[in-house]
Structure 1
């Protein structure tokens, strides 16, 4: 064999080995690390401000709301369902909490702290109530999660518009926004701390509690879980209540940031939260998903939105981009599963 033929053989061997390594990395890590790397390189070339510490902290703060909602969406997806009402839950929480604060402050002008507390509890009650209704419909009456949460999305949005007539609720206590919306601790925004605490709590729930194991079991095979002594109806009810509770907290944080109660916030949140989960490796078939992947998925979407803003990309085109990323992630996940099956066999 000539030296030229040996050289070509070495090149083909090297290329084959490189493809095999990339395949194994793709199967093991998923599509997210590759998307994250591509986004970091692309937007850092498009803007000198992208990789600055100030901008990255801003990305973390902006991503905190989506991260919290995505954690709730993850619970619903792991259980084998979906929650399309997360955006409406944000809106109802925002409107009810703002209206309660304004009314309480008008009745008790000198008791700002109590007015804030009343507004927070009112918002929590309204948001969790939506989750409870979703949970009852899905678990007790067997309504398909897609249809149940889609219906509740319409009901909640109409209720928020009815309460406000489409006009933002203003006159909230400034202290509420100063602490939860714009407050910082050691130079880090308060929403980031709140998000970190919730990430830890959801991680503990899924990995160290009986309810977490039940959620995975019900999503993996509801019939087998029932035969194992698990009560699927109770588990599903708790899952949707927890999903709405997390979304409600995000709604309160967004309300504090905006300093108004908005009936129109959260319109894109169902798509973005599902995208964050799917990109992060949560299966749409249920029974599979990890907290770390979802957090990275939400941060990735925040990075993309921030990068497109710095690059002056039209806001409507940003929605197109998020939808395209979701489709790409679903396709990549299917390819990854097929490759994993081939490697196993």
Structure 2
């Protein structure tokens, strides 16, 4: 038995088994209660929003598996949104009519902004030995401030129609492009987690960093890699939001996306102690949370009460993990 399997808490198996059942029960119940729930427009809305959350949650999950936290993902979503929109507007002025180049430059700038924030987070955690919670709390505030400074709180427009109407609101085989992007990211992350040394080392670092050092694992480099991935994934979600809405906004993401990404990871079986988690279950958890949020909206539940449900589910997931850990026989 591998070291990872040996330390897998009993709560993880329980949550993996309960999550599909909970999602199925939710879908069946809402189909009976609200005919709008299974309408094509609502289903597409759920899938699109679940895709955004999945991309962010996958980055968050890989950081938590390595024993860290990334509180800056919501701010990165917003920063990437405004950077993408601003750069596209600038590129349109110097490359009029060349939509492909304008879009490519804008997307590269947006992803680059997320990469920079991720690298700063990772280097501070690995080199300065500062808690990931504290570092990302600081970068969350700084990143959000930069986004507001760039826009002065005003939405940024001027992006090519091919980016907004063709990509952001376009579909293939009846599904939004965001769904296919999220699936592609998920498949890549499944491969990385299961078939690459990086994926195995991330689990080892989160599970037992001292043993990882003795085994010759470069902890610093891999920790930086996890935060960089998280930053790029959050930026990618911000770009998708921008394409859908048609404007760059510093209000995207925020605390809500940060909380939801952590919730998706925790409910999806990622241990807050590190070393345990499967990205495909995190994606399923993101779909469950998005469906739940949609159901609460259709049931006209007060928006101020909806975070209460999210909090209760997170507490229950952590409690299940802790109970499973306590009941696990010691060897």
- TM-score, normalising length: structure 2: 0.92
1:224 aligns with 2:231: no
Contact 2:15-2:268 within 8 A present in 1 as well = no
Moved more, 319-328 or 142-151: 319-328
**Who wins on radius of gyration, i.e. which is larger?**
1
- Indicate the SS of the match to 1:50: helix
Where 2:323 maps in the other structure, the secondary structure is: helix
Matching residue of 1:42:
29
CA distance in 2, matches of 1:89, 1:290: 24
**How many aligned positions are there?**
321
Among 303, 308, 316, the alignment partner of 2:296 is: 308
Q: Which has the higher contact order (CA 8 A, sep 6+)?
A: 2
- Ranges in structure 1 where 5+ consecutive residues have no aligned partner: 1-22
Residue number in structure 1 paired with 2:45: 58
Deviation of 1:107 (Å): 2.8
Which of 191, 196, 203 is residue 190 of structure 2 equivalent to? Answer: 203
Q: Which runs of 5+ in 2 are unaligned?
A: 1-9
CA distance in 2 between partners of 1:24 and 1:157 (Å)? 35
Match of 1:337 among 305, 325, 330: 325
The verdict on how the C-alpha distance between 1:148 and 1:24 changes in structure 2, with shifts beyond 3 A counting, is: closer
1:56-97 CA-to-partner distances (Å, cap 9, x unmatched) read 333111100000000000110000001000001101100111
Matches within 5 A, 1:1-345: 27=14, 29-267=16-254, 268-339=256-327, 341=328
Cα separation, partners in 2 of 1:263 and 1:113, compared to 1, 3 Å: same
Q: Which is further off, 101-110 or 159-168? A: 101-110
Deviates more, 1:222-231 or 1:114-123: 114-123
Which sits farther off after the overlay, 89-98 or 110-119? 110-119
Cα distance in 2, alignment partners of residues 117 and 271 from structure 1:
30
What whole-Å deviation, never above 9, does each CA across 1:221-272 have from its counterpart, x for those lacking one? 1010000010101110111111111111111111101111110110111100
- CA-atom RMSD, angstroms? 2.0
- What TM-score do the two structures reach when normalised by structure 1? 0.88
What is the aligned partner in structure 1 of residue 5 from structure 2?
A: none
